[in-house]
Structure 1
């Protein structure tokens, strides 16, 4: 009976031990694989396993990195959470972010920078996920959103950590090692603890009780600021390009520019320095772009047309980058510096063909002799509409005065090619040179020999109700105003003189009373005239 009782106790103990071992192994498995999400039944067990893993991780740097990984895992849980599990995921993410800040802030100050940048990138992704959620009645989502925005506005990790509730670090055993107790007067000449290094704790540089052979170079503690390539780098932490340092940073010693009181660049002795881009690449001018451009996240801040050779060719004053001068002697290629000064549709030839005054770009002169290019290569914009399509030099021979024209009209018979706009309305349709000469346009001379149709030119000068016969019956081409008419054999006086006939005038033949030599002199032979009232009315 006693043996049976012992066996039963042993089996119960063994079963309890097996259950406990299964629970521990299950917790470890859940902590490592993280298959569960906040809000699920066994998630607290998984979270416990993750926190145990974080506590047992060796080294503060590794703990900080793992805390960021766990926070990123909680963010992924929130992004894919079902509506009923959203608040549980928000709460878990809030705790994970606090834990990450705690472990990053526990790092030595020199090691915090990279982790803090990754934390800021995590906050950016968190803001994106939270902005897609609907507000909840409890205000948890709004509270976390405001907290994230506050952390994003912080410039330093210390400002972020100051917003957290106080948390007591969990005591842990350090690595067993001999601890030397140094005297107060230890020789620190090799690395003076002054200015920014004056308040450093010993453990900031001497870890695990090791004092000998501690690195003293600036780069051993102060990592360069990483370069963000694009918004995608902020969304995906695993993009290694995000953590690249400046590729063209000055390769000399840090103390050439920096001092221990402040990391901001101080005075730099440029004597003997011939390479500028390693420090001043971001000072190169930006490219001028059109108003409508394609969106680009390129970090290139250099105009492709900027002068590509040594900076010192122009910038010799190291105290003022904006002051520059260039010795143009021997320089024949201008566009690498002056492409932005070229107007639209400009002369495509060499700049030095016109611009020889390097002090004043607006002053230019061009030697037109033996130039093989056409005039329109430079002067197309100066050509009026409907201009003569021939060679410019047929009219413009003075290259100093464009307005002065001198045309050799020899052999030119088509005047309208140039003078169409000078032709009045209803003008004579014949050849211009029949009336005009090339020496003076206003003086007109026309040889009327063999021309009988005067009205083709002079119809506008004919008065109303004018004699309808040929003009040369009365007018001469020498003077238009003097009129002479041979009335011999002309019997129709009214054809010309109807306007001169008084009212109720004798309706008979004019020649019965009037002479063509003296119109006012009237005489009539009354022989054979029996009807006096035709001319003489009764008083």
Structure 2
């Protein structure tokens, strides 16, 4: 390559010598390399025209075509065959023949590089952006493997499906024969571009029939001998020969279902797994042979109750004898599936649970002669002999109840634990220590009276302080006595109609209940206090005809002093009346009918005054008009409010006595104004000339002039 370059340069140099030119002549010479304007010395030397200079000064990049990669090593004539450098084409196709026949365009750089024409690193990237990305094994296949159909390169309009390239593989495959089986041309169903070889297919069986366990180990031909399409998924279609050949049990004779999955699994045909869920095999049933229940190979209609299989066991049992005892055929009441013997009968599941001493009693004690059905559940049926043989107390003579539980319990027959508190007469207080015979004489328990008097009649009759019989006391002993002790008695008088309060609490009973008479004792005060009433002289109750309701003045705390409340009468004591002695109003101890008006007591006070003279002036007897309850004097007659202002206004201090105005001592209705207010009649007549109602007298003056 360098030799050619030197020849080119030498030729240029010779041409230059022949022309005898200088640098100025270059522009006029017909240059062999075309119309280029570079000195020959850039490539040739004076030493020799050839070879070219080692340090060629010519820079190809100035031409607009940079020499990179393999282009930098290529001989000039490879691109410039005529040694004419000007006008050389710059596109790849000018130097490189297009194997693609223009189908991939003119941009060779999409796939090829300057480093090497056959560098396909970019081709792979370009392919990834196409409709057919290269994955798996496809990345290592040469282009001709897919793009050399019929010996010619083809890059457009190629099929994308696998069969486009693998049709021959599809048709040549015999195990299984794809074409005969009518397999799909979608090769990716079984084959993958990621696997190392076409033959390493990985077919995924349809979800409707997954290949599990034993099926996964079978070859395709074992099930698909007649092809793949329309293959039945029923077990019997493959296992019919197994079904017919089985004799233990004989599937055909017994009419077994052809749904093999009822007993068999895909793990192992002979390792059958019968679904016995309709009758779970638990306990000893799990290890029993099939023919133990399915005699003569009969499986259909086999009964599920225990008795059908265990009837012989039932009838042969003698302890206890199930037949004689009329035992139930429900074997599970006593037996379990774990083992037939020993039985586990739970008596507590019956109507008679075994508790206490009953748990240790032998069955025959209650179930005589092996009789279990209809056994009575009441105590007396088993304990009748115990009942009749008891003498302390004698149950028969005492007519005791046959309900043994009243006294006995299931823990032990003796000792008895009779709870008297469960009867209608609970034992409390001293009754708890009394011997039974004290109340239940002659062993008589039924009909025993519950009232106190029936047992305590002697106590009642012998009591003399007080004498209960003479006092006609009630037979209800609880009125005075308690069940803690008969004595001392604790009679609560407050439970009667006459509660004891105050001084009555300390009074001896016989003071009220004379001669031990308790019934019919009067409850009014006077009946007991009549003597006090009659002997009282201050005031004399009889003379004053006092009420016999003693509580008007006396209390239960003490007879004296009395506490008569005058305010409860029609005349409450107020003011000076509170300190007035009773005799001042109640003369001669007369209390009943005492008048309540003031004048009756204050008549002498009314008649005594002379200023003013109440009698002469005919004053009203209503003393309260001038006097108050606080004091008789001074009087508080309201002259200003009722008649004429003399204690206030202009007349205050203008008068000395009532007579100043009331000139007629015999009649206070008469008064004079003219005596103080002296006027000349002639002048007054003239002054009142135009007053039609004018009169010259004090009454007329009072009627017209202001009362100030």
TM-score by structure 2 length? 0.24
Higher relative contact order (CA 8 A, sep 6+): 1
TM-score by structure 1 length? 0.30
